[in-house]
A and B are shown apart, each in its own frame.
Chain A
Amino acid sequence: MTDTQWETYEVFHQTKKGDPHIYVGSVHAPDPQMALQLARDQFARRLKCVSLWVARSKDITATDYQDEDFFAQVTDKSYRDPKAFEAPDKESPDEH
């Protein structure tokens, strides 16, 4: 039997103009336009939304969970961490 499932699209949601689009989930759809419409019903109905992105799931190139070495830290790299100075607070830039 042929697979009649529609393709999946990954959905990214933006709450406010200028904010990052945040990944919220996926939808089945026959094409990108319908994916946007269905994403609107699934994800933009209760959340405040100003913009949605959809991308075909198969167009996303991802790392493999099995390939743990891809992210491995085999030597001590703590010297790279910015621990020696205080970063100014992003939320209140005037307090320092």
Chain B
Amino acid sequence: MSIELPASVPHDPLLRFILALADDELMLGHRDSEWTGHAPILEEDIAFSNIAQDELGHSLVWYTLYEQLTGKSPDAMAFVLAWNDFTCCHFVTYPKGDFGYTVIRQYLFDEAEQARLTALGESSVQQLKEIARKLIREEAYHLLHSKGLVERLGDATVESHQRTQAAVDEAFPQALGMFEKLEGEDELVRAGVFPGNEVLKAEWLKRVVPVLTSATLTVPVAGQDGSYTTSAKSDEGGRRKSHTEHLRQLVDDLQAVYRMAPNAKW
């Protein structure tokens, strides 16, 4: 099935926007799946495996929309694309680290998803609107889970506090890279596709700062009452396909089986 877009929507920037969403979900889903068999308790092992599959499922939803617009299949995108052709942010590509880092990363990502999908629920592009309103129902439970862990680990014991704080120190600048400006973004904003990454970042800060702070975690921000600015340096480049070795390694793992028999029928 192919679909037509309204003429008012800039085509190429929209495709870039959809791919960025898909690539982020794919890479984070892969990193989450690396906990299968390794999480500190069995229940979290299963929970993270579940979340990993959800994220991969969400990436498929975005890749399928991309296919409807371009004819390129989700497999061609996920399993054939060269590692330095993906447009995920760096944040989702870093190794899973310890469980503290994973929890903080997942939480920061889940809040960004909430901000993004809420905004897309009002998009001028019907397909984005429908997908966003569907996915946000599942993402709400990811958030409940990761937020629950952050709230509990932040001030549970000296060790849990130290490890979650170290994770925030590391992950916060990386997370800002989720909001790296896309090429052609201003056109998308004018066409009412989404409100722009600066707006999403402000909304995201409004969500994460009070939660982290009340979990006794220190965040590099200034401001109050829902209006924050940050002095942290955003870890960007991913949207321009400028990546680190971590993505090369991730994509080698992700595509290993596919590369053994590229034309196999499953």
Taking Cβ atoms with an 8 Å cutoff, the residues of A that contact B are: 6, 27-31, 33-34, 37-38, 40-42, 45
Contacts and interface: CB of A to CB of B under 8 A. Distances in A.
B41 A34 contact: no
B126 to A, nearest CB: 31
A34 B141 contact: no
A28 B44 CA distance: 10
Chain B interface helix/strand/loop/mixed = helix
B43 A33 contact: no
A41 B41 contact: no
26 contacts: A27-B43, A28-B41, A28-B42, A28-B43, A29-B43, A30-B152, A30-B156, A31-B152, A33-B148, A34-B148, A34-B152, A37-B47, A37-B141, A37-B144, A37-B145, A37-B148, A38-B43, A38-B47, A40-B141, A41-B43, A41-B47, A41-B50, A41-B145, A42-B43, A42-B46, A45-B50
Interface string B33-76: 00000000111101100100000000000000000000000000
Given A41-B46, A41-B50, A6 B41 contact: yes
Contacts of A37: 47, 141, 144-145, 148
A27 B42 CA distance: 9
B46 to A, nearest CB: 5
A31 B141 CA distance: 17
Nearest to A6: B41
Contacts of A33: 148
A47 to B, nearest CB: 14
B149 to A, nearest CB: 8
Interface string B145-163: 1001100100010000000
A37 B152 CA distance: 14
A37 B48 CA distance: 12
A82 to B, nearest CB: 44
A31 B145 CA distance: 13
Contacts of B41: 6, 28
Contacts of A40: 141
B164 to A, nearest CB: 14
B230 to A, nearest CB: 30
A33 B149 CA distance: 11
A41 B46 CA distance: 7
Contacts of A41: 43, 46-47, 50, 145
A30 B41 CA distance: 12
Contacts of A30: 152, 156
Q: Interface centre among B41, B43, B44, B148, by most A CB within 10 Å? A: B43
Contacts of B46: 41-42
